[in-house]
Amino acid sequence: MILFRRLFRDKIDENMEEIKTILFEEDEMKHIPRELQQFHFPPILELNVGGANFTTSLSTMKKYKSMFSSMFSGKFEVVKDANGRFFLDRDPEVFRLILDFMRSDVLPPKSCFLKVYNEALYLSFDYLIEKLSVTQPVAGKEVRDCFLRGSLKYSQKFDELIRLGKETALAQGGARKSKLKIAVYKDKAENTTEHRCDVDLEFGPWQGDPNVPDLIHCLVEDLKGLGYSNTEAHCVGICDEPLHKDFGYCRRSLYTIIIQWW
């Protein structure tokens, strides 16, 4: 009886193993058609990129490792427009520059370095990222961002400057220009809690080598970048208010920023 039970249990175990194998194989089979599925593309590709038509070769699109090489690798289906062109929902102007690079290793014009670099990041186009990351606009932006992030809270203060300027202009019945007074200080030691300079906004502190004119340069350039092309900045001296704590003086740099609205 014991022997029979053992034999019976062995038989059950054996059958279970067989069932497991069959189930495993069936499960695996489900994936096989998907894995083996290949999409075929013609050697000449007709593309619709953001509404503009391009013609290029399959080999150009696959020349460098990027999102394009993955799209046309055959593993994925690429959606077509009503005219049968492969559709890419990207900016055609930037695509044209990237296509030039893929065709003949030509970098875009300097004015487009940053824009193309950002697109290369989006496309995971490593070779183009590498080529553009050593150009002045891209490398320079990285260095500048290093200065402006952190304790300075630059972007927050920058937005506040524009908001205050606009409020002032509106309060003056739609004045053409707003003149804002700012105090700029680099060192934390100057950030005394008991003293507030008589200004609209304070900028600082920050660490590292950049100085007060460097910060003013950023403010003016960023305002111009937003279309305030007639922005002016003038140094109007230093704050000479006495500090009660150590009987010294404030000494923060004072500037006026003039924003022209219309």
Site for Zn ion in 63-92 (CB under 5 A): none
User: Which residues lie below 8 Å from residue 29, measured CB to CB, with a gap of 6+?
Assistant: none
- Closest separation between CB of residue 112 and Zn ion, Å? 43
Q: Which stretch binds Zn ion (CB under 5 A): 23-31, 69-77, 135-143, 236-244?
A: 236-244
Sign of the four-CA dihedral 68, 72, 78, 83: positive
Least distance between Zn ion and beta carbon 190 (Å): 8
Return the range that interacts with Zn ion (CB under 5 A); candidates 62-70, 120-128, 207-215, 245-253.
245-253
Taking the complex as a whole, how short is the minimal distance between the CB of residue 195 and Zn ion, in angstroms?
6
For residue 182, state whether it binds Zn ion (rule: CB under 5 A): no
Distances (CA, A) of 226 to 19, 99, 162, 188, 231: 68, 29, 10, 30, 11
Asked if residue 201 binds Zn ion (CB under 5 A), the reply is no
Q: How far is the CB of 251 from Zn ion (least distance, A)?
A: 8
CA atoms of 137 and 128, how far apart (whole Å):
14
How many whole angstroms separate alpha carbon 226 and alpha carbon 261?
12
Q: Which stretch binds Zn ion (CB under 5 A): 10-18, 107-115, 216-224, 231-239?
A: 231-239
* Residue among 123, 216, 218, 239 that touches Zn ion (CB under 5 A): 239
Nearer to Zn ion, 50 or 242 (CB): 242
CB nearer to Zn ion: pick between 225 and 248: 248
Least separation in angstroms between residue 214's CB and Zn ion is 20
* Cβ proximity to Zn ion, 77 vs 194, nearer residue: 194
Task: Choose the binding region for Zn ion from 51-59, 202-210, 211-219, 232-240 (rule: CB under 5 A).
Answer: 232-240
- Please compute, for residue 122, the number of CA atoms within 13 A of its CA located in the half-sphere on the CB side: 12
Minimum distance from CB of 148 to Zn ion (Å)? 23
Beta carbon of residue 219, minimum distance to Zn ion (angstroms, whole number): 19
Query: Using CB under 5 A, which of the segments 1-9, 111-119, 137-145, 192-200 binds Zn ion?
Result: 192-200
Angstrom distance (rounded) from CA 228 to CA 260: 7
Q: Is 250 in the site for Zn ion (CB under 5 A)?
A: yes
Q: Is 97 in the site for Zn ion (CB under 5 A)?
A: no
Which residues sit at the interface with Zn ion, rule CB under 5 A?
197, 239, 241, 250, 252
